[in-house]
Structure 1
Amino acid sequence: MNFYLRKLTTRHLSVSLPFGVCNISNVACRSCFSYFSTLSSDFRFESPQNCVNVAGDSDINVVLARINPGSSEAEVVQSLLSDPDCDSIKITDNFVGRVLYRFKDDWKSALGVFRWAQSRPDYKPSPELYDKLVDILGKMKKMEKMHSLIDEMHAGHLISLNTIAKVMRRFAGAGEWKEAVRTFDELGKFGLEKNTESMNLLLDTLCKENRVQQAREIFYELKLHIPPNANTFNIFIHGWCKANRVEEAYWTIQEMKGSGCCPCVISYSTIIKSYCQQFNFQKVYELLDEMQGQGCLPNVVTFTTIMCFLKKSGAFEEALKIAERMKSVGCKPDTLFYNALIHTLGVAHRLQEATRVLKVEMPRNGVQPNTSTYNTIIAMFCHHLQEERALEFLRDLESSPVCKPDVQSYFPLLKLWFKVGKSDEFLKILVNDIVNKHHLSLDLSSYALLIHGLCRANKCEWAYLIFEDMIRQEITPRYKTCSVLLQEVKKKNMYDAADRIELFMKKMKTA
């Protein structure tokens, strides 16, 4: 056991830090189709995922067709080696990378395909592909396999700091944080340096996995021979805030200054966001003043965060004053800020001012709206039962040269029309616009909204057709949706439909 681990006590191992963190840069980007029903919920965002389109790639489809679900690594390799069609495939890094993406949740198939590609005499996988496979094995907690692959990479001099970062993060994510530390301790074995960059990777890994106390103990040892930089302290600021220990985060800013590093807007904004989450706006304003006193001006993300949480607290007028404070320091608004401003105005029932922001203020300042901007306006007018105004902005969005509608652009109108009992013709036109005119795919929430709405409107025949369409699209309805539809079709004596739904619900329970 290395000397960092010996410094950590059993008391440290029992620390439980359950609090999560959201990305402050995305606070204002939240879709508003459930505009007023979500005002009391937390801001949560999904990180954007990289999408790989495998449709239409015949070589990839050949490989996918040869792999049976549940096959072992050896079976995958043998299946591909014994197929003449696979022999004719030209193997490239791009091809292997796309197949690995397809099997990112199936380590046996991913490893099997990698070994098959590796067996071709004219192909040698790149270090980046090895890193992807390391990440897949680590994600699936196949640590022995991951270790073996690391040994193979080491023999081929393929290990980089990026590889080590993936290994440490997967160990920490699996709860094996000591192994993450040991990996750092063995950097020299791989020809890599223990320096500020690699130290920050380790500390960031531990802090993100709620091991900030352990990270702190390790840092005290490492800083004796590795100099920290501003990023080192920002990692701890984020870690303490994630653990809801904002006072330690603020103390870290003081320590940062003592080490000769200047706190930046990220340092202060992270702590400001934590105080916002506590609705401690007195501390928020104190920090804003401190920032300006230090010559570190808050940015648009800082102000957007404050506005959103003031709105969430119900302090609408105070939230709207943030726009003036922002102007006073010369900070220019962006699309996300304006989205938050429009949302705040809408919640404060100041519809005319919200409309003016989109129609006048944004063009005047050269800021382009996005789909979320229009979705917020549409939802706002639907909430106030102003259907024609909502439709006006929907048509503006449909014809916009800079952004196009998504499925959620239509949700408020669908909900409104179900609420007021619009005719089938209106609903059919709107659904047709979604699917055929704009080629948008209905997702689980879309289908659920339609089925529940149609059932409440006593149109269960149509709701059942939508249920059947879900099944054809291989989208599994929620159990509650099935239960609601089942009750309605039974009332209409639709026995075949009821049998079909009941059978599907039984399969859901046994799956």
Structure 2
Amino acid sequence: MNPTLLQTLLRNLVRRRSNHGFLSLLIQPHFNSSSFNHTHFFISTNSIGLKPFVTNQFSSSFSSKTIRGNNSDDFDKDEFDQTISDDDNYNGEEVGVKDEFFIRDVEIVMRILLDFRSNCKEARDKLEQCGVVVVTSNLVGEVLSRVRNDWEAAFTFFVWAGKQTGYSHSLRAYHSMIAILGKMRKFDTAWSLIREMKSLVTPQTLVIMMRKYCAVHDVGKAMSTFYALKRFKFEIGIEEFHGLLSALCRYKNVENAEQLLICNENTFPLDTKSFNIVLNGWCNVLANLRESNRFWRDMARRGIKRDVISYSSIISCYSKARRINDVLKLFSEMKESGITPDRKVYNAVIYALAKGMLFKEAINLMKNMEENSVVPNAVTYNSLIKGLCRNRRTNEARIHFDAMLQRGLYPSIHTCHILFGCLSSGEHVFELLESMKKNACCHPTNDTYVLLIKKFCEWRQHENVFKLWSKIVEDGLSPDRSSYTAMAHGLFWNGKVEEGFKYYKEMKEKGFLPERKTDEIFQAWLSGRKTEELCTLEQKNDKLDSGLSRKKKTNRFGRDLSQ
């Protein structure tokens, strides 16, 4: 059989099985699974009126709040991140003025957690002995933010802090810890915290769990958590349903979200906002032009009114596909329909023009944008700067960057990442990195360091790679999976295999699951090294045996008697 045909058949088979599993979850009114036992919160679909699917052959549509785009070429991460924070920083206290005592306490705790991160018991004992630390909500929030990629250190600190006199965990602290545990798939521990919260539990608490299950594509448990709202005596209305759709779409379970939307229209009537959530999933999370177009047409077929959010999503999808004519056609259609373009729509069109190297047209549209009382933001400039940088028009990119600053617009982290692509020396990279640290709006993130580690590996500047790694902790961050992967891969392909293996090993020790490719290259290297060591040992043994044999055949004067 043709290998390509075989792969296609296998993909289709896996997809059918996946759909069947999701369908069966909704069809069974008393669904039960031993894997759900730890929650004890399952509510059957019938208890809230959710309908089963009768077929997966259908189409559908989309409008209001949007979801994070996961496309690697997303023109507008800032634009599409407004409804859901990646760190799940939910309602709670904001960290206020950081006085010297607060900073001192944070440093003491962080030093203990970093020094004893491989031994939780010893870290806990050291925290008990430190004495001077005053535990407050701000302190807990700051520490959890810094160790969010090390769940054991975070949980050790969280448990210790909760036992300190005069302090009790706030809702924000619980949510932060639950998000950290969910990110590392420690769902049993997260549920134990939820049970501990008792009256503090809010619908948002369960939304965090839904998102984390969706992040690992466990749609069944995400839905079980959705039904658990009833168990906690919360109303299950359209807003909660939108939360489930958003969580599914945000982590690329868009097909499941669409099925859920269409098959439950009697319980949750189809509206523009519901369709917008799923449309944005197809357009900006998966960037699937074919499915986006199908869903867009189905929206019209079902009589769902399109709004400015609907148009911004579909236009952004065509923009990423470099379909400039279609972008301009949709832009005109929207205005003819009486819908006034907002900044997101203008940004999507400007992005398409800049990507198509139509910089003059993009700048003219920016002027038109201002004439219509729509003020450009950092995202608008990002599109121009990125396009100019890609076309090696660095001077023009800097002019627009300066113009952005003159407008009082602080560069976003995305803008700085684009500018890093224009730089050609390590000196300039570190200059921009230091200036980012002085700007509260674009302080370096793990993504910044991953980008720069890859850049320096490409330049084969190994000293700068290690220098960057040390700065991650200095900046109050903790290396995540992507950071370790970038170090391991970059060093490996630069011939620094032993150093790369050290980061690969440390990544696994910290509980991060390596990518399949990472596992393959280092397991192959280990296998080769063992084979090489075995061959070397055999050669040494052969030489030793040969020497002993030769010694036996010589007289006391060293003459070979075998001759």
TM-score for the superposition, normalised by structure 2: 0.58
Q: Structure 1's 227 and 65: CA in aligned 2 closer, same or farther, altered over 3 A?
A: same
Question: For residues 23 and 431 of structure 1, what CA distance do their matches in structure 2 show?
Answer: 23
1:50-91 CA distance string (max 9 Å, x none): 89889972323333444422334x66545544x2x33x5332
Question: For residues 372 and 226 of structure 2, what CA distance do their matches in structure 1 show?
Answer: 43
Q: Structure 1's 106 and 293: CA in aligned 2 closer, same or farther, altered over 3 A?
A: same
Q: Structure 1's 229 and 340: CA in aligned 2 closer, same or farther, altered over 3 A?
A: same
Q: Structure 1's 268 and 194: CA in aligned 2 closer, same or farther, altered over 3 A?
A: same
Question: For residues 207 and 260 of structure 2, what CA distance do their matches in structure 1 show?
Answer: 17
My pick for the range that moved more, 194-203 or 111-120, is 111-120
Q: Judge conservation of contact 1:91–1:117 (CA < 8 Å) in 2.
A: yes
Which residue is 1:129 aligned to?
173
1:28-53 CA distance string (max 9 Å, x none): 99xxxxxxxxxxxxxxxx97998988
Which residue is 2:339 aligned to?
296
Q: Structure 1's 61 and 341: CA in aligned 2 closer, same or farther, altered over 3 A?
A: closer
Displacement of 1:198 after TM fit? 0.7
Does 1:101 find its partner at 2:149? no
Which residue is 1:116 aligned to?
160
Structure 2: which amino acid aligns with 1:70? S
Question: For residues 235 and 364 of structure 2, what CA distance do their matches in structure 1 show?
Answer: 50
Two-structure CA RMSD over aligned residues (Å):
5.0
Q: Structure 1's 370 and 293: CA in aligned 2 closer, same or farther, altered over 3 A?
A: same
Which residue is 1:275 aligned to?
318
Structure 1: which amino acid aligns with 2:233? G
Task: Please point out which of 199, 223, 248 is paired with 2:294.
Answer: 248
Secondary structure of the residue aligned to 2:236 is coil
Which residue is 1:33 aligned to?
none
My pick for the range that moved more, 135-144 or 304-313, is 304-313
Which residue is 1:69 aligned to?
117
Secondary structure of the residue aligned to 2:200 is coil
Which residue is 2:105 aligned to?
59
Any stretches of 5+ residues in structure 2 without a counterpart? 1-30, 32-43, 58-68, 439-443, 474-483, 507-563
Which residue is 1:305 aligned to?
348
Equivalent residues in 2 for 1:34-433 (5 A)? 57-67=103-113, 68-72=116-120, 76-81=123-128, 83=129, 85-86=130-131, 88-153=132-197, 156-227=198-269, 229-241=271-283, 242-243=285-286, 244=288, 245-251=291-297, 253-254=299-300, 258=303, 262-315=305-358, 319=362, 322-323=365-366, 326=369, 331-334=374-377, 336-338=379-381, 340-341=383-384, 367-368=407-408, 415=425
Question: For residues 175 and 79 of structure 2, what CA distance do their matches in structure 1 show?
Answer: 34
Q: Structure 1's 189 and 447: CA in aligned 2 closer, same or farther, altered over 3 A?
A: closer
Structure 2: which amino acid aligns with 1:233? F
Q: Judge conservation of contact 1:100–1:132 (CA < 8 Å) in 2.
A: yes
Displacement of 1:186 after TM fit? 2.3
Q: Structure 1's 412 and 158: CA in aligned 2 closer, same or farther, altered over 3 A?
A: closer
Q: Judge conservation of contact 1:335–1:367 (CA < 8 Å) in 2.
A: no
Q: Structure 1's 136 and 470: CA in aligned 2 closer, same or farther, altered over 3 A?
A: closer
Q: Judge conservation of contact 2:148–2:154 (CA < 8 Å) in 1.
A: yes
Question: For residues 159 and 275 of structure 2, what CA distance do their matches in structure 1 show?
Answer: 42
Q: Judge conservation of contact 2:346–2:369 (CA < 8 Å) in 1.
A: yes
Structure 1: which amino acid aligns with 2:242? N
Secondary structure of the residue aligned to 1:186 is helix
Q: Judge conservation of contact 2:213–2:222 (CA < 8 Å) in 1.
A: yes
Displacement of 1:348 after TM fit? 8.2
Displacement of 1:279 after TM fit? 2.6
Secondary structure of the residue aligned to 2:338 is coil
TM-score for the superposition, normalised by structure 1: 0.63
Kindly, what percent of the aligned residue pairs are identical? 23
Secondary structure of the residue aligned to 1:157 is helix
Task: Please point out which of 52, 63, 84 is paired with 1:7.
Answer: 52
Q: Judge conservation of contact 1:307–1:319 (CA < 8 Å) in 2.
A: yes
1:269-311 CA distance string (max 9 Å, x none): 1001112222333332332222112221112332232232233
Q: Structure 1's 447 and 266: CA in aligned 2 closer, same or farther, altered over 3 A?
A: closer
Q: Structure 1's 239 and 141: CA in aligned 2 closer, same or farther, altered over 3 A?
A: same
Q: Judge conservation of contact 1:77–1:113 (CA < 8 Å) in 2.
A: yes
Q: Judge conservation of contact 1:71–1:108 (CA < 8 Å) in 2.
A: no
Question: For residues 102 and 199 of structure 1, what CA distance do their matches in structure 2 show?
Answer: 32
1:162-181 CA distance string (max 9 Å, x none): 10110111111122111111
Question: For residues 178 and 297 of structure 2, what CA distance do their matches in structure 1 show?
Answer: 37
Displacement of 1:200 after TM fit? 0.5
1:361-392 CA distance string (max 9 Å, x none): 989xx9446558xx99xxxxxxxxxxxxxxxx
Displacement of 1:466 after TM fit? 6.1
Q: Judge conservation of contact 2:73–2:320 (CA < 8 Å) in 1.
A: no
Question: For residues 309 and 149 of structure 1, what CA distance do their matches in structure 2 show?
Answer: 46
Question: For residues 407 and 311 of structure 1, what CA distance do their matches in structure 2 show?
Answer: 17
Q: Judge conservation of contact 1:230–1:263 (CA < 8 Å) in 2.
A: yes
Secondary structure of the residue aligned to 1:57 is helix
Structure 1: which amino acid aligns with 2:340? L
Question: For residues 70 and 221 of structure 2, what CA distance do their matches in structure 1 show?
Answer: 24
